[in-house]
Structure 1
Amino acid sequence: MNPEIHLAAHHLRAAELRAEADAHRLALAARRPAQDLRTRVGWTLVEVGLRLASVPPKPQIA
C-alpha cells in the first residue's frame, strides 16, 4: 500500500473518531442535569417509602 494513501486513511479515521468522541461528550453533558433530578426524586421517594413503612413506636405504659 502506498504510504500516502495509508496516511490519508489514518487521518480520515482519526477525524471520524474525534467527531464521534465530541458527539458522545455533548450527549453526556446534555443528559447530566436530568440525571441529577432523577437521582434526587428517586432518593426522595425512598425516604417517603421508608417513613410510610416504618411502624411508629408503641407508647410505654408506666
Structure 2
Amino acid sequence: MNLSEQIAMREVSEQLWGLWQARAAPGWRTAIKDLLKILASIGRKNVKGPGPIGWLA
C-alpha cells in the first residue's frame, strides 16, 4: 500500500495531542491502532495505471 505523505502528516498532526495525552494512559495502544486505521482508510495514494500507450512502458 502506498501512503500519501501529505494526508498522513495532516492526520498525525491532528491526532498528535490525543496521542500525547494517551501516552501514560492504559489506552495508548488503542489510540495508535485508531490512527493506523484512519491512515489505512484515507491515506492511500491514487496509483495511476499505464497511459494510453501503456505497451511502451
Q: Where on the TM-score scale, by shorter chain, does this alignment land: which range?
A: 0.3 to 0.5
Which of 1 and 2 has greater Rg? 1
More helix by share: 1
Q: TM-score, normalising length from structure 2? A: 0.37
Higher relative contact order (CA 8 A, sep 6+): 2
